[in-house]
Amino acid sequence: MTPQDASQSNEALCRLAPVIPVLVVDDVATARPLAEALVAGGLPVLEVTLRTPVALDAIREMAQVEGGIVGAGTLLTPQDVAAAKEAGAKFGVSPGATDRLLQACEDADLPLLPGAATSSEAMRLLERGYSVQKFFPAEANGGVPALKSIGAPIPQVRFCPTGGVSPSNAPDYLALSNTLCVGGSWVAPKDAVAKGDWARIEDLAREAAALPRS
Please list the active-site residues. Answer: 47, 134
Phi, psi dihedrals of residue 135, rounded to the nearest 5°: -95, 110
* Angle at CA of residue 110, ends 19 and 8, nearest 5°: 60
Cβ(15)–Cβ(181) below 8 Å: yes
Q: How far is CA 92 from CA 2, 33, 207, in A?
A: 14, 22, 25
Q: Are the C-beta atoms of 107 and 99 separated by less than 8 Å?
A: no
Whether 25 contacts 51, CB under 8 Å: no
Contact between residue 208 and residue 47 where contact means Cβ atoms under 8 Å apart: no
Q: Are 35 and 68 in contact (CB under 8 A)?
A: yes
